Structure 1
Amino acid sequence: MTNIARTFAEMRPLGGYRVILADPPWLFGVRSAKGEAKAPQAHYDCMPTDEICALPVDVLAADDCALFMWVTWPLMPDWMRVIEAWGFSFSGLAWEWIKFNPATGKYAFGPGYGTRKNLEPCLLCTRGEPSLRQEVPADLFAGVTAAGTRSVRDFIECAPFEAIRAPRREHSRKPDEQYSRIETLFDGPYVELFARQKRPGWASWGNQTEKFEAEEVA
């Protein structure tokens, strides 16, 4: 058993995690010194796809488990390999993060050789048959939900759920709204892989779990 597998086995709750959130440190190929300075590997340690595939995520996962994974569209062949290697099936898009410049309110520019990749997708993948929560949490978005919203299915049908419009943050830091959305859809236990902050009610794993302090999200 590898050190990571041993750590995952020690982290695993009885029955496994029903939700896994992952933001793998994808390794990008670049074409210039200017591109190298902007690439993720200039800001934190990245991993080749083979190493990401080799992570024993199955040790953490419950038999019925939902995986939310942040990816980029140019690396689609890579993340399809990872999904399969981790023992999951691709379900579809969970949401896309529409980034804007917090100083100007205008859409933020991303890297890209064609279009500028302003949108960052988070995928939903499944293992077994994870089921949605039956009831919307009473404190969902500070209790502000559409009239007649009694179930998670009602909420999904009345909400523009596949877009998060939020300001661009520090490199690789994702919008905190992701947690509220996941907690609305599925019961825990929850674990975040490659976490860069800790979240109450979540387990976290990675080498930068205290990089950022979590912000309270209504």
Structure 2
Amino acid sequence: MTAPEPTRPRAEPLREESEAPPLPTVDGGFKTILADPPWRFANRTGKVAPEHRRLDRYSTMDLDAIKALPVSEVVAQNAHLYLWVPNALLPEGIAVMEAWGFRYVSNIIWAKRRKDGGPDGRGVGFYFRNVTEILLFGVRGSMRTLAPARSQVNMIETRKREHSRKPDEQYPFIEACSPGPFLEMFSRHARKGWILWGDEADEELEPRGRVHRGYGGGEIEAPAVARYERLDGEVAEALGQQLRAFYESGLSIRDLQKTTGYSIQRVRGLLERAGADLRPRGGAH
């Protein structure tokens, strides 16, 4: 049964979309593909969602362009596909999987954890605070997973790293459950034993993006505003969640004030908007 064509508000790319290079090939075709497409994410108004404006350092693709990639021409007759998809774009993920010649059979959930093991509350969303991402699993032809998969749970629980970077634990997971040769599409860093494809694939590439302070270093990305200027509601929501993550990892309101250049009152307001449990003034941090 074919999934209905998803209908979403159309978002304009944040930078010019470049033409995709040809897909690599191997004799007999790839047995396993891992893909993390640069989805073009639009909010309810059709604008690029505020939290995704940081993605302008990556080339994004619309749904039709992703579906049009000739994946079916480079895979084996029997093959596995692991496809990352945002929670809000699940129907699009199924549509891409079918366009590439695979049928959906299961999924793996990435549960993002804080240092203390609790859920990472920095996720965003219009309806719920997303602390998970979905890795769809599809099959082309007829090929079961390898023996280790019989005892493998369909969950990866790790701390979040650079923006947009998926957990390194995905590789041993996939290598234990599916056969090679392996192709990673839209790859951002090298992995031994994998053939890479994407505009950021490079054997010497350092991962892009920022690691959040308290999670290994990084910076807060706060828009410059005049003293009495109000932040747009969606921008304030996304920024408040980012500040909350830094605050809950140990930074003080004063630290956040110095880093953002905002007033103490604005920082407190953003934290309160994000639902942060503020520590008593003058207390330990």
TM tier, smaller: 0.7 to 0.9
- Partner residue of 1:76 out of 90, 96, 101: 90
CA contact (8 A) 1:110 1:116 kept: yes
Give 1:163's match in structure 2, choosing from 155, 165, 185.
Answer: 155
Q: Distance in 2 between matches of 1:178 and 1:164?
A: 8
| One-letter identity of the residue aligned with 1:44 | Y
Identity of aligned residues (%): 36
Alignment match of 1:110 (pick from 123, 127, 145): 123
* Residues 1:180 and 2:172 aligned together: yes
Contact 1:36 1:42 in 2 (8 A): no
Report the TM-score, using the length of structure 1 for normalisation: 0.77
Q: What residue is the counterpart of 2:206 in the other structure?
A: 212
Q: Distance in 1 between matches of 2:140 and 2:49?
A: 36
Gaps of 5+ in 1: 134-150, 214-218
CA distance in 2, matches of 1:89, 1:188: 19
The AA in structure 1 aligned to 2:170 is: Q
Shift of 1:43: 4.2
Q: How does 1:26-175 map to 2 (within 5 A)?
A: 26-30=39-43, 36-39=49-52, 41-93=55-107, 95-102=108-115, 105-108=117-120, 109-133=122-146, 151-152=147-148, 156-157=150-151, 159=152, 161-175=153-167
State which structure, 1 or 2, has the greater radius of gyration over its C-alpha atoms: 2
CA RMSD in angstroms comes to 2.3
4+ residue stretches of structure 1 with deviation over 3 A? 34-37, 40-43, 210-213
Higher strand share: 1
The code of the aligned residue for 2:172 comes to S
Taking the aligned partners of 1:38 and 1:101, their CA distance within structure 2 comes to: 20
CA contact (8 A) 1:68 1:125 kept: yes
Q: Give the Å deviation of 1:172.
A: 1.2
Q: State the number of aligned residues.
A: 184
Secondary structure of 2:90's aligned partner: helix
Q: TM-score, normalised by structure 2?
A: 0.59
1-structure distance, mates of 2:39, 2:193: 27
